[in-house]
């Protein structure tokens, strides 16, 4: 079997730990690791928007393989756009994400979220919730598909004693996210320990596809170009209660567990957004269809090795996120891993074209 490149991200210290093959030969000195350090630790270098082209770099666009719902990308706000209407009959478990224009990114967020740029998105259908363990089991039973974690015999779990590094736990998979010696994943929780390749196999079976980052952010902004930090507003707490499954306290030292979920929570446990979606913030990171790319590079003609990565982008933040560490559950938050990485805080949901 070929070796695996395994790349979980611990954003605050910015080290992407790479495991080559099934066991840990740690290499934190690669170019991609250095990039993470720059992105997350300094958070200082902002791009001068005047130096950027309005039209995106075609080479990057080609490699991002964006869906046809994305009809405009540019630094300049687009002119008035057509009002999209749809009489689509909603498939069970999905909502219509209306089309519109949306400003992607946050110039006040991490450096990898700037510069903000505009996109026009046509309507599409989106799963209300991340794919659950129950739904994924149906796929496995129907197809006898073997996930990459099962092929490699292990998957990524954070070292709970130190909280500082990812370890490959033998036997950890979608059914036993923490390993065989720990409780089985519950049916109504989001499936985890699925690689990008696994997520795509499920989507294909379901007649759907993964959302690209722009679609995910547009949906998280409720298709209204809301500038709120979270899908519901600017406060993580609503009427004194946590509004998402995240980390409370100082990561990784202490989780006060005020939301009652130290790991995943049942999908929908923390309510719906105004668009009718659940878990867009917290619980698990979600795979997107596109590779991780640098927003500034998108609008330049001179590409660097950091412009486009072989890793795939993730959105939405997880139960491990806390503001001082990565604050990944903001609508503009981003993460990424290689297509064969499986982690216990990473799942996916699907979208469908109209
Ligand atoms: Ca929690
Ligand atoms: Ca999430």
Tell me: pLDDT of 18 over 60.
Answer: no
Cα 152 to averaged position of ligand 2 atoms, centre (Å): 26
Cα 317 to averaged position of ligand 1 atoms, centre (Å): 11
Q: Phi/psi of residue 30, each to 5°?
A: -75, 165
Q: Mean per-residue pLDDT for 20-35? A: 30
Cα 247 to averaged position of ligand 1 atoms, centre (Å): 5
Distance (Å, whole) CA 198 – CA 186? 19
Domain extent listing, the chain: 45-153+185-353
Cα 53 to averaged position of ligand 1 atoms, centre (Å): 42
298 near 56, Cβ under 8 Å? yes
Question: Quick one: tokens of 231?
Answer: 């899908």
Cα 333 to averaged position of ligand 1 atoms, centre (Å): 18
CATH number for the domain formed by residue range(s) 45-153+185-353: 3.90.1580.10
Residue indicated by tokens 């064969």:
340
Taking the CA of 259 as reference, the closest ligand is 1
Cα 268 to averaged position of ligand 1 atoms, centre (Å): 14
Reference 218, options 99, 82, 330; nearest CA is: 99
**Per-residue pLDDT tens over the stretch 62-120:** 999 999 999 999 999 998 787 666 677 789 999 999 999 999 999 999 999 999 999 99
Taking the CA of 318 as reference, the closest ligand is 2
Instruction: Please report the pLDDT score of residue 326 as a whole number.
Output: 84
Tell me: pLDDT of 34 over 70.
Answer: no
Distance (Å, whole) CA 9 – CA 309? 14
Distance (Å, whole) CA 19 – CA 24? 5
Q: Mean per-residue pLDDT for 117-127? A: 97
44 confidence band (pLDDT: 50, 70, 90): very low
Give the residue with greater pLDDT, 326 vs 310: 310
pTM for the complete prediction?
Answer: 0.89
Cα 126 to averaged position of ligand 2 atoms, centre (Å): 14
Cα 244 to averaged position of ligand 2 atoms, centre (Å): 9
Taking the CA of 245 as reference, the closest ligand is 1
Distance (Å, whole) CA 285 – CA 217? 13
Tell me: pLDDT of 29 over 90.
Answer: no
């Amino acid at each position: 079997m070929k070796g695996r490149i395994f790349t979980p991200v611990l954003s605050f210290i910015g080290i992407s730990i790479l495991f080559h093959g099934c066991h840990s030969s740690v290499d934190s000195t690669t170019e991609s690791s250095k990039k993470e350090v720059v992105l997350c630790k300094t958070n200082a270098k902002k791009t001068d928007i005047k130096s950027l082209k309005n039209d995106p770099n075609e080479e990057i666009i080609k490699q991002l393989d964006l869906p046809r719902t994305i009809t405009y990308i540019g630094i300049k706000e687009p002119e008035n756009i057509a009002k999209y209407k749809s009489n689509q009959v909603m498939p069970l478990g999905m909502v219509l994400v209306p089309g519109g224009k949306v400003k992607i990114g946050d110039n006040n967020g991490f450096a990898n979220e700037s510069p903000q740029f505009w996109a026009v998105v046509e309507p599409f259908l989106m799963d209300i919730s991340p794919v659950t363990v129950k739904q994924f089991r149906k796929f496995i039973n129907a197809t006898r598909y073997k996930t990459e974690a099962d092929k490699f015999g292990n998957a990524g779990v954070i070292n709970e004693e130190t909280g500082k590094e990812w370890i490959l736990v033998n036997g950890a998979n979608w059914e036993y996210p923490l390993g065989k010696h720990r409780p089985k994943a519950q049916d109504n929780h989001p499936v985890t320990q699925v690689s990008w390749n696994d997520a795509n196999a499920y989507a294909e079976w379901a007649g759907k596809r993964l959302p690209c980052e722009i679609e995910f952010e547009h949906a998280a902004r409720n298709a209204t170009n809301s500038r709120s930090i979270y899908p519901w507003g600017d406060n993580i707490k609503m009427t004194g209660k946590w509004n998402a499954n995240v980390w409370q306290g100082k990561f990784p030292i202490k989780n006060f567990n005020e939301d009652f979920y130290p790991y995943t929570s049942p999908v929908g446990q923390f309510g719906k957004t105004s668009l009718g979606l659940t878990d867009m913030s917290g619980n698990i990171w979600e795979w997107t269809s596109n590779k991780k790319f640098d927003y500034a590079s998108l609008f330049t003609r001179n590409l660097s090795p950091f412009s486009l990565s072989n890793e795939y982008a993730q959105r939405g933040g997880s139960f491990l996120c806390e503001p001082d560490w990565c604050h990944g559950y903001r609508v503009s938050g981003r993460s990424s891993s290689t297509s064969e990485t499986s982690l216990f805080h990473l799942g996916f949901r699907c979208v469908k074209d109209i």
